[in-house]
Structure 1
Amino acid sequence: MDREPGWSVRLKLTLSYAGLVMLVGVSLLAVVWVFLLRYVPVRLSPSPFSLPDRSALMAAFLPKAIMMLMFLLVVGLVGGWILAGSMLAPLTRITNAARQATNGSLSHRIMLEGREDEFRELADAFDTMLARLEAHDAEQRRFAANASHELRTPLAITQTLLEVARNDLNGDNRVLVDRLHAVNTRAIDLTEALLVLSRADQRSFTREHVDLSLLAEEATETLLALAEKQGLTIETSGTITPTIGSHALLLQLTTNLVHNAIVHNLPDHGTVWVTTSTRPRTVLLTVENTGEKLTPQLVSTLAEPFQRGTQRIRTDHAGVGLGLAIVRSITQAHDGTLTLTPRPNGGLRVTVELPAAPHTTV
């Protein structure tokens, strides 16, 4: 925003301090003058023992008062300038940090020393904001790089298949069409997943009353055929868990969790547990599954985009690597928390905790 040049805050504070000192000085001298006038007559008769009259007192008092006021003015201006500079020094450091952040440097920190006050509270809040922005920026860069790689892969495969078909015009195109269909389907799934992720990050959705237990049943019924095909058992339990949010996004969250638990499971005779529960101010959705033993280090990365467990494998139902990333974004968009914990006997426990609907809080 273009602004006209004006006085600096330091100069304004200096003039304010000096004005206050002058006001106090004038008030004090006025009080002294009024006090003296009460005991000094206007004019006295000549006598060797008489006190000076008011005219003589004024002639003696006024020059000294003016000199004192000039001294107070100088002290107020110099002292106010120094005091204002000392008070505004932290603000200058915060301003410099903000300018560096505007220029793209998010690694700078103010690290304002000293005891806690308003300026240091502001500096700490600004440092926290810079840290979050830096982490978000790094995450977005990684996401953009991974998304570019994932989107480039089906396009490269499509181009290769088309070149093979062009060089072999007499070949059977049915196999080519089937492969192109599969590649195109994967590209569409990835694009839709990216759109869902963007929608969750922007929080552009309408909030309404949602029961997580009903969403868990709906997701389980939808994926039951896939679980039976994999030779798995799905067990659901829990109570009514009302919350506030987007029905479509929370259903996507629940479906992703159940789908992830089915796909990343034992080859046969595995189990998936879907449980809903309530707390005084929150509701919980927990999805557990059997599977390979996972390390805490690996589990901490599973919610990153395009991470697929122990290795970047692709099966018929492995998805596009955005399942848990979408779950995390939807959870954050609903002011909830996502917790991933490896199960001692193998597999993963995922817990989504969301604020309960207002009428359920105690």
Structure 2
Amino acid sequence: MTARMKLTLSYAGIVVVSGALLLAAVGLFLLRYVPDTVDFFPNRSDLLRAFVPVAILVMIVLLVIGWAGGWWLAGRMLAPLNRIGYAAQLAAHGSLSHRVALEGPRDEFRDLADVFDSMLDQLEQNMAEQQRFAANASHELRTPLAISQTVLEVARADPDRDVDALIDRLQEVNARAIELTEALLLLSRAERRAFTRESVDLSLLAEEAVESLLPLADKRGLTIDVGGDAAHVVGNGALLQQLITNLVHNAIVHNEPENGAVTVRTHSLAEAVAVVVENTGPVLSPALVATLAEPFQRGTARTHDDDHAGAGLGLAIVQRIAQAHEGTLVLTSRVGGGLNVTVWLPHPHPGLYEPVASA
């Protein structure tokens, strides 16, 4: 039995029961005052004989009115649900562009339709992003494979090939493919939020990231300044370590060719904690900065070397890890050149923690 049929039966039942109660009230409280004697006309029996057929006819009319009116009212009430169901059916078949767009005053059905439309908007955006990401990932993964194939074909056609140079080139291409694959797996892990949580101090992670990347900074002639408050959050230590490492690494490789600088700071406020990484570098337009967190987007053209293969996933991974920890990533260009990257993460005890200045 459909919901419309159930509502129709309910409406018709209410009408019929109400009519029956009304007729019973007439019979019980009015007819009892009429004498039921032969010398009185019309007596109670006469009125009952005249009243019962009319009451039956009225009950039939009430049943018809209740059924027809209930069917119409149920259809009107369920029309928004039918529209939502139609949109859901289209979405189930892969069409995410259709919207319910329910009109009329705001009520429970309107709220439900608006929430459903918002869900479709989010699904459509996520689907488009996943398709774009899959296309970019396929292209990026195909590149090292195509390079390897070309190197092998050239080496096969060259009788005087340098085996050591061939091995070095293939190893470089293979390392790039491994780096890209690991980045994709890390990105997928952050998006699925498949990790355990624990108490983590971001200031310690920042010091570890700077220490591990200090040789790369020295090689490029950069100075790194790290400091700030003890910043405690609840999250996955490995992912948060990767987040800060990506930020510092990105700040190093996208910097001035010489005499550049990187600044790493952690802050703990009453409601949130922050990791701020600044680096010198070329002037970045606001339009370019807005796209830097997109997968496979690179801020500046550069020569790929052994230090960085340039997969274009550094800030994309940072953003996904931040979102998986209910945080946000904010990118702003620095006056004079370079980038300011701030990751905000929720404080484990908002409003209860006073920041402690580091020594």
Structure 1 counterpart of 2:138, one-letter code: S
Is residue 2:277 matched to residue 1:303?
A: no
In the TM superposition, residue 360 of structure 1 has moved relative to its aligned partner by 6.5
In the TM superposition, residue 129 of structure 1 has moved relative to its aligned partner by 1.0
Is residue 2:3 matched to residue 1:9?
A: yes
Deviations 1:181-233 (A, max 9, x none): 11111111111111111111111111111111111111111111111221212
CA 1:268–1:315 in structure 2 vs 1: closer, same or farther (change >3 Å)? same
The equivalent of 1:343 in structure 2 is 334
Q: Is the 8 A contact 1:44 1:52 kept in 2?
A: no
User: What secondary structure sits across from 2:331 in the alignment?
Assistant: strand
Q: Is the 8 A contact 2:141 2:177 kept in 1?
A: yes
Deviations 1:277-327 (A, max 9, x none): 123232111111111111111111111111110347534434311101111
Equivalent residue runs for 1:204-353 within 5 Å: 204-311=194-301, 314-318=304-308, 319-353=310-344
Cα distance in 1, alignment partners of residues 176 and 25 from structure 2: 89
CA 1:313–1:298 in structure 2 vs 1: closer, same or farther (change >3 Å)? farther
The percentage of counterpart residues that share the same residue type is 61
Deviations 1:100-134 (A, max 9, x none): 11111111111111111111111111111111111
Cα distance in 2, alignment partners of residues 23 and 159 from structure 1: 83
- Which of residues 8, 16, 20 is equivalent to 1:22? 16
**Aligned-CA RMSD value:** 1.6
Structure 2 counterpart of 1:340, one-letter code: L
Q: Is the 8 A contact 2:226 2:263 kept in 1?
A: yes
CA 1:297–1:51 in structure 2 vs 1: closer, same or farther (change >3 Å)? farther
In the TM superposition, residue 258 of structure 1 has moved relative to its aligned partner by 0.7
The equivalent of 1:356 in structure 2 is 347
CA 1:52–1:312 in structure 2 vs 1: closer, same or farther (change >3 Å)? farther
List structure 1 segments (4+ residues) > 6 angstroms apart after TM superposition. Answer: none
The equivalent of 1:44 in structure 2 is 37
- Which of residues 175, 178, 192 is equivalent to 2:182? 192
In the TM superposition, residue 241 of structure 1 has moved relative to its aligned partner by 1.2
In the TM superposition, residue 45 of structure 1 has moved relative to its aligned partner by 5.5
> Where do 5+ consecutive residues of structure 1 fail to align?
1-6
Q: Is the 8 A contact 1:19 1:76 kept in 2?
A: yes
CA 1:224–1:51 in structure 2 vs 1: closer, same or farther (change >3 Å)? farther
Structure 2 counterpart of 1:186, one-letter code: R
TM-score using structure 2 length? 0.94
Equivalent residue runs for 1:7-156 within 5 Å: 7-41=1-35, 43-44=36-37, 46=39, 50=40, 52-156=42-146
**Alignment length, in residue pairs?**
352
CA 1:58–1:296 in structure 2 vs 1: closer, same or farther (change >3 Å)? same
In the TM superposition, residue 22 of structure 1 has moved relative to its aligned partner by 0.8
Q: Is the 8 A contact 2:271 2:351 kept in 1?
A: yes
Structure 2 counterpart of 1:249, one-letter code: L
CA 1:85–1:208 in structure 2 vs 1: closer, same or farther (change >3 Å)? same
User: What secondary structure sits across from 1:338 in the alignment?
Assistant: strand
> Where do 5+ consecutive residues of structure 2 fail to align?
354-359
CA 1:334–1:248 in structure 2 vs 1: closer, same or farther (change >3 Å)? same
The equivalent of 2:357 in structure 1 is none
Query: Which deviates more from structure 2 when the two are superposed, residues 90-99 or residues 342-351?
Result: 342-351
Cα distance in 1, alignment partners of residues 324 and 228 from structure 2: 24
